[in-house]
Amino acid sequence: MSRISDRFDRLRRDRRTGLVTYITAGDPSLAQSAAILKTLDATGVDVLEVGVPFSDPLADGPVIQRATERALASGTTLDGVLQMVADIRPDIAAPIVLFSYANPIMRMGLAQFTARAAEAGVDGVLTLDVPPEEGREWHQAFTQAGIDMIFLLSPTTSTERMRKAAHLGRGFLYGISRLGVTGARTDISDAAAELARRVREVTDLPLVLGFGVSTPEHMQALGRMADAAVVGSALVQVIAEQGTDGDPAAAAATYVRWLRG
């Protein structure tokens, strides 16, 4: 059983809503990203999502786009992200999921990437722009490396595509609770509950919901629909506000403790 499956089994036994956190690796530096991830793990975050910076992050809103720009400007590469994960893996209990677009992985080479990721201790990979219909080669490579392949679902995803994602996917399914790009919102979209209902009809894979989570009330609302909630842009903004001279790890921990109530 993978670390991801084990973590969600534990959440279901404990009847507790999990928390998945997203940060952009290399913002403001890889060394500070490592410190942030260690601190988030120490606060009890259930899954650590590590974003690989990419020059054209089309699914992301302005907060994560700016974070990606800062990470690229600091010299962050996929190779550097994998090395950072390898360095901190012995100190991290939570599963680590890489969040990437396909291009950086294809540039490295799928076989080389999966081998490097497995060696580094990556537990899962979510590739935003690889749909289930084109994911068989990727699924085979990830499976052979012992890495969970995670798919993205949206309110407009067809039932047929949901079934394909559930068939090929491992670990959990990532549900986008609203249409549009990433970014904190003041409320949870009504589409979240309907998406969760539809996913539950086709699979018992754990479901996490994201895109807009920023308050304890959002956590409580999504906990009634899904196994876990994802906080991304709001946390990335907290880190950004610290700049290069602040303490982003401490600020991230304070925010996460508040978010969990």
Q: Which pair of structure tokens corresponds to residue 87?
A: 């360095």
204: helix, strand or coil: coil
* DSSP output for 145-180: HT-EEE-EE-TT--HHHHHHHHHH--S-EEEESSSS
The H-or-E segment that residue 228 falls in is strand 228-231
Q: What is the dihedral of CA 165, 170, 172, 173, to 10 degrees?
A: -10
Distance CA 33, CA 235 (A): 12
Distance CA 139, CA 163 (A): 15
Annotated active-site residue in 27, 41, 46, 60: 60
User: Does 49 participate in catalysis according to the annotation?
Assistant: yes
Best CA proximity match to 93, nearest among 131, 40, 146, 54: 40
Q: Which pair of structure tokens corresponds to residue 223?
A: 């906990």
Annotated active-site residue in 27, 49, 123, 148: 49
Q: What Rg do the C-alpha atoms of the chain give, in angstroms? A: 17
15: helix, strand or coil: coil
| Residue 43, Cβ density class (10 Å: 0-12 exposed, 13-18 middle, ≥19 buried) | middle
User: Does 137 participate in catalysis according to the annotation?
Assistant: no
So which residues are the catalytic ones?
49, 60
